[in-house]
Amino acid sequence: MRLSIDEIRFFKANGYLIKRDILDPALMVKARDRMWEGAPPSMKRDDSRSWVGPIPKDEESADQSNRRSGFRWQFREPGGESFMVQLLATNPRVFGFAEQLLGKDQLQKPERIRGIYCTLPYGSYDPGPGPSGCHVDAHPFHLGVVGYIDDVDPGGGGFSVWPGSHRIFFPDFRTRYTFNPKKKYEVDKKAVVQQPPVDCYGKAGDIVFWHHRIGHTASPNRTNRIRQAVLYDYRKVDLGAYQDRKPTKNMWYDWSEETRRA
């Protein structure tokens, strides 16, 4: 399975790409089981009423391996377990797509993924119209991927992106991959968020690729299901050698020849 030329062109123009039915169902079952092993005490797997946020104050945690606060739950502890890496980062189709975009034999060997990132149902809490929190990630990488290990319905806290914002934000930084924005970044961000983002909802097994400079957020979860996602960041082997260089006029300069030519 390979990305089509039209899919690569879509990714270059919009900064994201959704692929359906990619992840291994058996590994997703294991990931969901593993998630519940790290759940806060008040959350019961067989009682959806207990999933509604926010997380009780006495169950919040600043521990980076199992961080919980408000409606967000970032369970990073299992990110280095072999089956989790196989689920997403080294999945043959996911890895193959990433190599197609970045170059054959050019990727750092995946050793762990970020973990399982959850957004709890908002219940009666009203966060206001639309998503908020548009941002660009601070750590250096090339290509992000989000995989859903359970269904995410529209309005269910899916990964949301502002299409095309990667082309706006790329020159707004002093370097290609590290986080040192110019003043124009905040100006452009205020303009970008005036446009509606795309809610990248999907079924269990769907994935979303995204460019490292695209504006994105985890949108509010207005359903009765926990948004369950696994994340990984692909990096080229030589990223450290040029991550602090000035942005190039051609933002695809260090991507694959296939991507550059699309």
pLDDT digits (tens, 9 = 90+) for 204-219: 999 999 999 999 998 9
Q: What is the pLDDT of residue 129?
A: 62
**What is the reported pTM?**
0.96
Rounded to an integer, the average pLDDT of 83-102 is 98
Residue 196: give its domain's CATH number.
2.60.120.620
pLDDT for residue 132 is more than 80: no
Q: Per DSSP, what are the bridge partners of residue 217?
A: 160
Q: 83 pLDDT exceeds 80?
A: yes
End-to-end CA distance of the chain: 18
Three-class SS state of 165: helix
Residues with Cβ within 8 Å of residue 122, at least 6 apart in sequence: 52, 53, 71, 220, 221, 222
**Has residue 128 got a pLDDT over 90?**
no
**Side chain identity, residue 206:** D
pLDDT higher than 90, residue 38: yes
Task: Answer yes or no: is pLDDT of 127 > 90.
Answer: no
CA distance 234 to 222: 30
Q: Residue 225: which domain range? A: 5-261
Averaged pLDDT of the chain:
96
For residue 1, give the DSSP letter.
-
pLDDT beyond 80 at 131: no
Number of domains in the chain: 1
In order of 48, 197, 220, 227, 231, the CA distances from 157 in angstroms are 16, 13, 5, 6, 15
